[in-house]
């Protein structure tokens, strides 16, 4: 365990088609621009209202993912059945969540916006890998001996940290 350190600590988020994207890596947030978010969730600009034809717009529910503590914040409306409908969303562009939203976009996979599943991958300097999924939509990993959002890569891993990592892989 001497000289054993964290090498890479990466948090991924699931986007459209279940594709994984970096959300946070080695103490730095990733994919935070509007263009990144559009790409992750495969959003299309709402240019023409006729793109909504064929969907039951009377049965749409409003939402704001801020209320769910989701990593990316959207405000919008979605069909009751998020697996067989669409959502019309605005991307929160920073600042107060009561404002500063983008123009409207169509999301053909509203479940990816609703779920925003996250995963944590940890690589140690000896090549060992540890992974865990998040049991909430907040990208909050319930670790007791380290914070995956801030790692001191210069410090050796403690025995308690190694025990916790080994426990993660047992689950």
Give the model's pLDDT for residue 1. Answer: 61
Inter-residue long-range contacts of 135-140, CB under 8 Å, 24+ positions, other chains counted: 136/69, 137/65, 137/68, 137/69, 137/70, 137/71, 138/68, 138/69, 138/70, 138/71, 139/11, 139/13, 139/23, 139/24, 139/71, 140/69
Q: Which of the four pLDDT bands, split at 50, 70 and 90, describes residue 13?
A: very high
What is the pTM assigned to this prediction? 0.90
Q: What is the signed CA dihedral for 25, 158, 142, 115, rounded to 10 degrees?
A: 30
Dihedral sign (CA 151, 8, 10, 129): negative
| Integer Cα distance of 56 and 42 in angstroms | 21
19, pLDDT greater than 70: yes
Q: Which residues of 32-69 are buried (b: 16+ CB within 10 A; e: fewer)?
A: eeeeebbebbbbeeeeeeeeeeeeeeeebeebbbeebe
Q: Which residue has the higher pLDDT, 85 or 121?
A: 121
For the CA atoms of the chain, what is the radius of gyration? Answer: 19
Q: What is the mean pLDDT of the chain?
A: 91
pLDDT at 168: 84
What pLDDT does 135 receive? Answer: 67
Q: Write out pLDDT tens, residues 27-77.
A: 999 999 999 999 999 999 998 887 777 787 778 899 999 888 899 999 999
């Amino acid at each position: 365990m001497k000289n054993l350190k964290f090498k890479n600590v990466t948090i991924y988020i699931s986007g459209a088609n279940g594709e994984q994207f970096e959300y946070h890596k080695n103490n730095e947030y990733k994919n935070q621009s509007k263009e990144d978010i559009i790409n992750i969730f495969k959003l299309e600009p709402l240019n023409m209202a006729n793109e909504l034809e064929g969907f039951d717009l009377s049965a749409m529910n409003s939402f704001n993912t801020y209320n769910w503590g989701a990593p990316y914040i959207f405000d919008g409306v979605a069909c009751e059945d998020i697996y067989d409908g669409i959502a019309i969303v605005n991307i929160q562009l920073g600042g107060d969540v009561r404002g500063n939203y983008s123009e409207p976009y169509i999301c053909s996979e509203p479940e990816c916006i609703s779920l925003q599943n996250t995963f944590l991958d940890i690589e140690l300097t000896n090549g060992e890998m540890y992974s865990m999924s998040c049991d909430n939509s907040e990208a909050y990993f319930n670790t007791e001996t380290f914070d995956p959002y801030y790692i001191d890569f210069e410090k050796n891993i403690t025995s308690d940290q190694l025990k916790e990592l080994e426990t993660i892989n047992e689950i």
